[in-house]
A = this chain, B = another copy of it.
Amino acid sequence: MLERFKVPEDLALKVQEGTLRETVTSVFRHMGVPEDDCHLAADVLVKADMRGVETHGVSNMLRSYVSGYRDGSINPTPNWRIIRETPATANIDSDRGLGIIVTPKAMDIAIEKAKNVGVGMVTIQNGRHLGMASYHAMMALEHDMIGVCMTSCPPSVLPTFGAEPRLGTNPIALAAPAGEEPPFVFDAATSTVAGNKLGLARRLGNNLMGGWVADTDGVPIMEEVEPPRPGHQGGAGQASSFLLPVGSTREMGSHKGYGMSCIVDILGGILSGGGYGIHPGRPNFGHYVAAYSIEAFMDTAEFKRTMDEWIRMLESTKPAKGHDRVIYPGRLEAEETAKREAEGIPFHPEVMDWFKDICSELSIPYNLTNS
């Protein structure tokens, strides 16, 4: 992630992984979530923080999940079930279960199918937020498979040439194992930035870069601006700007970001039978996960050797003027994980205040920074 989204060193309070995991598990327990699911949910959130993906970690997501459980929009004990199935595919009704809990179970099904017939592909309708999409994609790695995850979200992004948000930030994640190098892990919104980054920018007081948003007439703003309130169709407050698809302007290729976002709406939304982001009466998420068995195509050991070679080829690229190295998707997150295992996870004081409040409210012992 961009340096500008890191919590400043002098403000950061460091929290250890184990302690954070315990506290988060307790919060889910108090929401009425079954014990195993509490641990799973904490794993998804804490792994995001360990990888440096704070946009989808504890600090940015947990409070919204708590709100969702409290207002009834998220079901703590969903009766999720497969509503259609073939040897390579399944479609799941998630029964309003939180995506960070139901999606790993869908990915387990996809992995099992890929073991049997080479590929497994599962759609999920009536879902809720699934956290860091790459968590689910990465589940395939230990099975020597390539994992994929997409999620069709409520609208906040303009189509190319449009002045109203009609698509979600609709992220795409793909993970592929290497041999000695950390796995390839791509995970990105199809908008210029993830919607959560606008929230983080607000919290950290950072400006938005040119090309990230358009004004309310749909005209891309190409110079740096102060963080606005993001526009959400039907949301509260007056929108002052809207997110753009990656590519920013038609000339620079925003139709490509727009098209990739459409693909996520089709595979995660429409193909799940649950409709798409802006579908009337659908304040939810549609998910898509897939697993491809490497051995179904070629020798797995050779695949991993070639991945290592390819990663080293990319990272040995001569750096551009002003930069000191070229990296591949997954490198920074692996480095950040090692660093946070040693030093803890840096949180903004505002996040710690929220934790103190929620722990006190739920009678959970607060010990995040005294360990």
Contact = CB atoms under 8 A, between A and B. Distances in A.
A335 B172 CA distance: 30
Contact of A318 (B163, B190, B251, B302): B163
The interface centre, meaning the residue of A91, A214, A292, A296 with most chain B CB atoms within 10 A of its CB, is A296
A319 B161 contact: yes
Given A2-B251, A211-B251, A319-B218, A166 B84 contact: no
A136 to B, nearest CB: 16
A87 B117 contact: yes
Nearest to A328: B262
A38 to B, nearest CB: 30
A251 B159 contact: no
Contact of A214 (B91, B117, B320): B320
Contacts of A278: 313
Interface stretch (A94-102, A267-275, A339-347): A267-275
A86 B260 CA distance: 29
B297 A163 contact: no
A164 B306 contact: no
A298 B310 contact: no
B164 A317 contact: yes
A247 B327 CA distance: 16
A199 to B, nearest CB: 18
Interface in A154-173: 158-164, 166, 172
B219 A322 contact: yes
B163 A296 contact: no
A20 interface: no
Contacts of A329: 255, 258-259, 262
A192 interface: yes
Interface in A1-39: 2
A121 interface: yes
A93 to B, nearest CB: 11
Interface in A129-181: 146, 158-164, 166, 172, 174, 176
A307 B190 CA distance: 20
Nearest to A302: B273
Nearest to A329: B259
A88 B313 CA distance: 31
A297 B262 contact: no
Contact of A117 (B117, B250, B273): B117
Contacts of A306: 270, 275-276
A358 interface: no
A216 to B, nearest CB: 10
A40 interface: no
Contacts of A252: 192, 209-212, 246, 248, 252
A314 B258 CA distance: 11
Given A87-B88, A192-B253, A270-B303, A121 B118 contact: yes
B297 A327 contact: no
B174 A297 contact: no
A257 interface: yes
6 closest A-B pairs by beta carbon, nearest first, are A218-B320, A86-B118, A89-B118, A162-B317, A88-B118, A186-B259
24 contacts: A87-B116, A87-B118, A89-B292, A119-B121, A123-B297, A146-B267, A158-B320, A161-B319, A162-B317, A174-B263, A188-B253, A210-B251, A217-B320, A246-B246, A246-B256, A247-B253, A248-B252, A259-B329, A262-B329, A265-B310, A270-B303, A271-B297, A275-B306, A279-B310
